[in-house]
């Protein structure tokens, strides 16, 4: 049912005193990525609220290959989010969701472009039945985000507002809105309410600041932590602790 993932994430956040979601987005030679990811995860697991994993690890290693990282998250009680920006027909989306949940992921990020009917609607219902979560993209953090998510439709609304409305109406667990766009975060909050979490990427390497993402529930941070000499210290700084 909806809320199970939110509850687990909230409990993890309270336990660690953190609103940072660690993005394990490692580049460089493939041979060293898993080892580097586990090192940073082990160093920061008591300081973070959750973990996000995307194509940097899932594409070269697959679900079987990241089992070790999943185990670390499980033992630490850290919710695990798959950032695959799921955007396909219902049957494919359903297979993605079932596979991710079966391999220990708690939630995944999806793109609302695909629509509800025979797209994401039934998938969200299935995931909630299994205690998982679905987060929808509303506004991304790269420079070209406004070229897509900012497009104004015939209704006079930009796509990001429509996507926030879809998150609310479809029963999504959260939305992704860039930390570099505090006004978009504020708009999204008015639309989705307090029951739908806002995850905000873009802090650090992409130019965003923790302060500009203050209206979000959670900050998604990668390189500012993974490339730091002291990853745990970097997380503490993001959480306002020294």
DSSP lists the bridge partners of residue 86 as 110
Q: What is the pLDDT of residue 149?
A: 81
Across-strand partners of 81? 52, 107
* Sign of the C-alpha dihedral computed for residues 52, 59, 74 and 196 taken in this order: positive
What is the predicted pLDDT for the residue at 212?
Answer: 52
Q: Are strands 174-177 and 20-23 parallel, antiparallel or unpaired?
A: unpaired
Query: Cα(194)–Cα(112) distance, rounded to whole angstroms?
Result: 20
Range of the domain at 110: 4-238
Q: The domain that contains 11 carries what CATH number?
A: 3.20.20.70
Instruction: For the chain of 242 residues, list the mean pLDDT of each consecutive stretch of 10.
Output: 89 96 94 96 97 97 98 98 96 98 98 95 97 95 79 86 96 93 92 94 65 80 94 92 62
Active site residue 85: yes
Tally the domains of the chain. 1
Selected catalytic residue, list 85, 116, 130, 194: 85
Q: Nearest CA to 206 among 227, 184, 188, 186?
A: 227
């Amino acid at each position: 049912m909806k809320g199970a993932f939110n509850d687990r994430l909230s409990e993890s956040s309270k336990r660690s005193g953190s609103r940072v979601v660690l993005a394990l987005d490692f580049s460089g030679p493939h041979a060293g990525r898993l080892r580097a990811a586990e090192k940073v995860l082990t160093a920061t697991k008591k300081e973070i609220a959750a973990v996000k994993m995307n194509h940097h690890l899932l594409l070269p290693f697959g679900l079987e290959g990241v089992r070790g990282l999943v185990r670390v998250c499980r033992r630490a009680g850290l919710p695990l989010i798959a950032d695959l920006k799921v955007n396909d027909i219902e049957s494919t989306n359903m297979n993605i969701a079932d596979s991710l949940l079966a391999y220990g992921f708690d939630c995944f990020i999806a793109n609302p472009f695909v629509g509800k009917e025979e797209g994401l609607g039934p998938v969200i219902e299935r995931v909630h039945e299994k205690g998982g979560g679905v987060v929808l993209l509303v506004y991304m953090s790269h420079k070209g985000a406004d070229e897509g998510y900012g497009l104004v439709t015939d209704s006079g609304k930009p796509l990001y507002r429509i996507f926030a409305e879809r998150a609310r109406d479809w029963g999504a667990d959260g939305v992704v809105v860039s930390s570099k766009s505090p006004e978009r975060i504020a708009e999204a909050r008015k639309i989705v309410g307090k029951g739908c979490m806002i995850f905000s990427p873009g802090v650090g390497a992409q130019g965003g600041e923790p302060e500009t993402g203050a209206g979000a529930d959670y900050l998604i941070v990668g390189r500012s932590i993974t490339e730091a000499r002291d990853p745990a210290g970097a997380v503490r700084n993001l959480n306002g602790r020294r």
